[in-house]
Amino acid sequence: MMKTFVCRMLLVAALFPVHFLSAQTDNLQQLETDMRASSGADRVEKLIRLADGNIAAGNYDKAADWADEAGDFAKKLRLTALRATALNREGKAMMLNGKRKAAGRFEQSLELLRSINSGDKSLAMDNLESLLKLAQRSGKQKDIADINDQIARLNNTLVAAVPIPPSPPVTRQELREEISNLQNQIVKQQARASGISVNTVEYEKRNQELQAQLAEREAQINQMTEEQMKTSMLLMQQRYMLDSVVFRASLDSLSVANWNLALREAESNRKFYIAAIASLLLLAFGSLYSFVRARQNAKVLEGKNEVIREEQQRSEKLLLNILPSLIAEELKKKGHTNAQYFEDVSVLFADFVGFSKIAEKLKPQQLVSELDTAFRAFDDIIAKHNLEKIKTIGDAYMCAGGLPNGGGSQMRDMVNAARDMQKWLAEWNEQKHANGLPRFDARIGIHRGPVVAGVVGSKKFAFDIWGDTVNIAARIEQAGEGGKINISGNVYDIVKTYVNCQYRGKIAAKNKGEIDMYFVDN
DSSP 267: H
Q: Are residues 103 and 91 in contact, defined by beta-carbon separation less than 8 angstroms?
A: yes
395 in helix, strand or coil?
coil
Number of residues written out for the chain: 522
Q: What pLDDT was estimated at residue 141?
A: 85
**How far is the C-alpha of 108 from the C-alpha of 124, rounded, in Å?**
11
Mean pLDDT of 71-78: 89
Q: What is the pLDDT of residue 143?
A: 84
Asked if pLDDT for residue 213 goes beyond 50, the answer is yes
Are the C-beta atoms of residues 89 and 44 closer than 8 Å to each other? no
The pLDDT-based confidence of 177 (bands split at 50, 70, 90) is low
- Mean pLDDT lowest for which of 171-175, 185-189, 218-222, 400-404? 171-175
User: Would you state the pLDDT for residue 167?
Assistant: 42
Residues 476-499 as b/e (b if ≥16 CB within 10 A, e otherwise) read bbebbebbbbbbbebbbebbeeeb
> What residues contact 418, with CB distance under 8 A and at least 6 apart?
348, 350, 444, 446, 485, 520
- Work out the number of other CB atoms within 10 angstroms of the CB of residue 430: 11
Render pLDDT for 333-351 as a digit per residue (tens, 0 to 9): 776 778 888 889 999 999 9
Q: In percent, how much of the chain has pLDDT > 90?
A: 27
d(CA 231, CA 171): 47
Residue in 132, 128, 66 with CA at minimum distance from that of residue 94: 66
What is d(CA 113, CA 84) in angstroms, rounded to the nearest whole number? 7
pLDDT in tens, 256-304: 667 777 778 888 888 888 989 998 999 998 889 888 889 888 888 888 8
449-452: long-range contacts at Cβ-Cβ below 8 A with a sequence spacing of 24 or more?
449/344, 449/345, 449/490, 450/341, 450/342, 450/343, 450/344, 450/345, 451/341, 451/342, 451/345, 451/347, 451/400, 452/339, 452/340, 452/341, 452/342
Q: Is 441 in contact with 483 (CB distance < 8 Å)?
A: yes
Tell me if 428 sits within 8 A of 441, measured CB to CB: no
Partnered with residue 443 across adjacent β-strands are 351
What are 98-152's pLDDT values in tens digits?
877 888 888 888 888 888 887 788 899 998 888 888 888 888 888 888 888 888 8
CA 155, CA 139: separation in Å to the nearest integer? 24
